[in-house]
A = this chain, B = another copy of it.
Amino acid sequence: MLLLYKAMVPGLRQACRLRSTPSRLCIQACSTNDSFQPQRPSFTFSGNNSGTGGWRVMGTLLGLGAMLAYHDHRCRAAQESPRIYTKEEVSSHTSPETGIWVTLGYEVFDVTEFVGLHPGGPSKLMLAAGGPLEPFWALYAVHNQSHVRELLAQYKIGELNPEDEVPSTLETSDPYADDPIRHRALNVNSQRPFNAEPPPELLTENYITPNPIFFTRNHLPVPNLDPDTYRLHVVGGPGGHSLSLSLDDLYKFPKHEITVTLQCAGNRRSEMTQVKEVKGLEWRTGAISTARWAGARLCDVLAQAGHQLCETEAHVCFEGLDSDPSGTTYGASIPLARAMDPEAEVLLAYEMNGQPLPRDHGFPVRVVVPGVVGARHVKWLGRVSVEPEESYSHWQRRDYKGFSPSVDWDTVDFDSAPSIQELPVQSAITEPQDGETVESGEVTIKGYAWSGGGRAVIRVDVSLDGGLTWQTAELYGEEQRPRKAWAWRLWQLQALVPAGQKELNIVCKAVDDSYNVQPDTVAPIWNLRGVLSNAWHRVHVHVAS
């Protein structure tokens, strides 16, 4: 149903673009049909004239005319005195047949058209069908922005009866009320769910990022799990048996400890936003951190459950114990070949820098997949299974993928791109910062560099003149094991500021041991989700005279 729906929406969407041009054009376009009762558009399509279920088929009544008429009603509804609905009326609009309505405060919206375009996926928006958005916006606070409210305003069809009781604020029954207290040094990109990064100058202060300032990327409220009753469910393999592992059971597997850098796919997204708007949190350079992780190797646990590597493609699916009001949990998967490879060192980690995992980082158990995008390192791990297909989670299939700059939300086909696993080579400057003033004479430039898939960083080139000439930085940090360089290098360059220079355009770029390099500029790698932002990092500084 939703597929059909999605295929139909782009046309409507085109028509609805008119709405962003304000009232005059909108009113001019309105027809003589004065009924405010929203009337569903009806479509016909070849190969289905049955008229049963889904969209009603209305043959020749169909067409752009109907679409425009429908659009016109809505234009007027938004312009003139609002139509009043009861909560009961709203609650009966929960399907494409009836129309899909939602409320926010006292306002009522018909989002039928928008469902297929919802960046979080249609199913997420359908959870709110027939009722208030507040509980969901409280969960996904990314909605609470002016451009989202403007978008929503286009779908307004009326208001609730003022005598009806409505959620007073977004704070009602805050699902995040039990989230842990965080370190004040973190730069917060979103409170609900909590997403925050360390400030650049702290980020490269230590090779190992201290737990309290390790970047945090949560998708949902932080569950509060009891370590005594915690169980990890591992679905058994063919001829094996399922496991229900307590923490003590996990501790009995050989303890494996490795230094691994985690990076969010959205690290440095803010630079993509400067090219063109993207959907996502405005991470700067800090959605990356490094810790010493310890736990059981996933391959050992899978082997105990009777799994082995098979010739056919298979995936290990992880489910978190963090969930939304519908019970949907965070989920992701990695290929079985990686999970079963002892050299890939995938961990079910219960320690971070010698401490039990902090709640924000997955207490009591999270997955750590060295060399792979953060999104697969599922926190608060509840369930592990081996499946013939990737995880059906929204975050595996409808997010965390890369697209061409030419793809937008009207044309994106999430099935056309592979889920991000290994990340490309990356580096950024943490000192000095953009806009800073540096002393003349000598300048100290610092940063980090990392690459996915265990590929070691072999060189970082730094330029003071925007990329015309280059110097090579000194690399620091733990020795990189061949094929298992899971952790970043920090780097530093003491550079002479050319005499008389009033400003510097400092640039860095890293090279990994496959000799992959970072692209020069952001625009050609721009993508609608703002992921994989790994162009040369550039900061512009003034020189004190």
Contact = CB atoms under 8 A, between A and B. Distances in A.
Contacts of A472: 404, 406
A515 B373 CA distance: 11
Nearest to A525: B517
Contact of A404 (B452, B470, B515): B470
B524 A482 contact: no
Interface stretch (A43-51, A361-369, A453-461): A453-461
Interface string A508-543: 010101111111110011000000100000000000
Contact of A519 (B335, B482, B520): B520
Interface stretch (A31-39, A97-105, A414-422, A494-502): A414-422
Interface in A316-371: 335, 337, 343
A511 B337 CA distance: 22
Interface in A198-213: none
A518 B514 CA distance: 13
A525 B343 CA distance: 32
A464 to B, nearest CB: 12
A505 interface: no
Nearest to A424: B516
A471 interface: yes
A425 interface: yes
Contacts of A458: 417-418
A423 interface: yes
B515 A524 contact: no
Interface in A296-325: 313
A33 B281 CA distance: 75
B406 A469 contact: yes
A313 B519 contact: no
Interface string A386-419: 0000000000000000101110000000000110
B483 A514 contact: no
B461 A404 contact: yes
A467 interface: yes
A404, A458, A509, A525 pick with most chain B CB within 10 angstroms = A404
A520 B517 contact: no
A396 to B, nearest CB: 15
Contacts of A337: 343, 482-483
Interface of A: 313, 335, 337, 343, 402, 404-406, 417-418, 420-425, 452-453, 455, 458-459, 461, 467, 469-472, 482-483, 509, 511, 513-521, 524-525, 532
Nearest first, the 9 closest Cβ-Cβ pairs linking A and B are A520-B520, A422-B514, A424-B516, A516-B516, A406-B470, A424-B515, A515-B532, A517-B519, A402-B515
18 contacts: A337-B343, A337-B482, A404-B470, A404-B471, A404-B472, A406-B470, A406-B472, A417-B459, A418-B513, A421-B513, A422-B514, A424-B516, A424-B517, A453-B453, A453-B514, A514-B516, A518-B519, A519-B520
